[in-house]
Amino acid sequence: MRYRIYLQLEKSLRPNTVEAYMSDVEKFALFLEGGEDALLAVTLDDLRGFVASLADVGIHARSQARILSSLRSFYGFLKLDGFIADDPTELLKSPKIGMHLPDVLTVQEIDDIINEIDLSKNEGQRNRAMIEVLYSCGLRVSELCSLRMSDLYLAEQFIRVTGKGDKQRLVPISGRAIAELEAYFCDRNRIAIKPGYEDFVFISERLKKSLSRIMVFHFIKQLVVSVGIKKNVSPHTFRHSFATHLLEGGANLRVIQAMLGHESIATTEIYTHIDRTRLREEIIGHHPRNRRICIKK
């Protein structure tokens, strides 16, 4: 299908994302029961009926919104390529989604997690470096797993990160994370890495190849239980904590957006949250209407 090629080449989406988009379009086609002709003759009422059917079978509002995003992309492509004159999704409203803020770790909790890692174990230093990089650079778990030696510019204190849509960004890396990485490299150099995986930073000593996201999830879950933290912690929690700590420290939201690799500032605004007390202090301290005015008599 030409749409698949469009997603792969023009949108530069990852294979998993392409398959998700295609699957959502197929779900809609099955609902219409009319093949490609039905897809081209869709009305707003058809789309509303489809959304209602998703709700009827218990699909969460967030998942409904994701499916509708796929359909908007599909019909945008059809209009762009001249298959249809009007986009039927333009007037379609997305389901309301309450803003969900994931748990945030304190700096002390992050230190406790790192200090819990047993350095006497073969992969202890690797795991310590992994957590430091995850938190220090605010990476997605997929970005961590795909990080390569050729992406490291440690002398300049930067790393190159390949994010969604294969878009690259430069992210500063802390001195502490650099020190943990360099200590890990001594262990890494002793591993007989499988051909094709030599450039990946984080290597499984047992499998001799790069780590998978599942491995990182499993390791972090075990570590958090061992520390005794009751929060719902995943690799993504470190990314959210990174953004939150930057914001609380006074970093500009646009800077955080660039660090996280968000295309839209709206995503960053949802992704981070601001302590209400600090927000009030910022307004009182900086808004011109709240500044004291000295009147000369």
Residues 60 and 65: their CA atoms lie apart, in Å, by 9
Q: Which of 119-123, 168-172, 270-274 is least confident?
A: 270-274
Burial of 189 (0-12, 13-18, 19+ CB in 10 A): exposed
Q: What angle do CA 242, 243, 245 make, to 5 degrees?
A: 65
Residues 108 and 245: their CA atoms lie apart, in Å, by 12
Q: Where are the domains of the chain?
A: 2-80, 107-278
**147 band by pLDDT with thresholds 50, 70 and 90:** very high
What lies within 8 Å, CB to CB, of 45 at 6+ separation is none
Task: Supply the pLDDT for residue 274.
Answer: 46
The closest of 34, 35, 11 to 21, measured between CA atoms, is 11
Could you tell me the sign of the dihedral formed by the alpha carbons of 56, 58, 61, 65, in that order? negative
Task: Supply the pLDDT for residue 15.
Answer: 87
Task: Supply the pLDDT for residue 295.
Answer: 40
Burial of 56 (0-12, 13-18, 19+ CB in 10 A): exposed
Residues 277 and 242: their CA atoms lie apart, in Å, by 20
Average pLDDT over residues 108-134: 95
User: Looking at the annotation, which residues are catalytic?
Assistant: 140, 164, 236, 239, 262, 271
Average pLDDT over residues 201-209: 95
Instruction: Tell whether the model's pLDDT for residue 75 goes beyond 60.
Output: yes
Task: Supply the pLDDT for residue 296.
Answer: 44
Residue the block writes with tokens 């002793």: 190
Instruction: Provide the Cα torsion 183, 185, 190, 191; round to 10°.
Output: 130
Residue the block writes with tokens 């803020």: 101
Residues 68 and 74: their CA atoms lie apart, in Å, by 10
**276 band by pLDDT with thresholds 50, 70 and 90:** very low
Instruction: Tell whether the model's pLDDT for residue 278 goes beyond 90.
Output: no
The pLDDT tens digits for 13-31 are: 888 888 999 999 998 988 8
CATH number of 107-278: 1.10.443.10
Share of the chain above pLDDT 70, in %: 87
Task: Supply the pLDDT for residue 293.
Answer: 43
**245 band by pLDDT with thresholds 50, 70 and 90:** confident
Instruction: Tell whether the model's pLDDT for residue 1 goes beyond 90.
Output: no
Which of 173-187, 248-262, 268-282 reaches the highest mean pLDDT?
173-187
Higher pLDDT, 275 or 4: 4
The closest of 202, 223, 222 to 213, measured between CA atoms, is 202
Higher pLDDT, 209 or 259: 209
Instruction: Tell whether the model's pLDDT for residue 65 goes beyond 90.
Output: no
What does pLDDT average to over the chain?
A: 85
Q: Topology of 2-80 in CATH?
A: DNA polymerase; domain 1 (1.10.150)
Task: Supply the pLDDT for residue 232.
Answer: 87
Q: What angle do CA 219, 223, 227 make, to 5 degrees?
A: 175
Average pLDDT over residues 185-193: 95
Task: Supply the pLDDT for residue 152.
Answer: 97
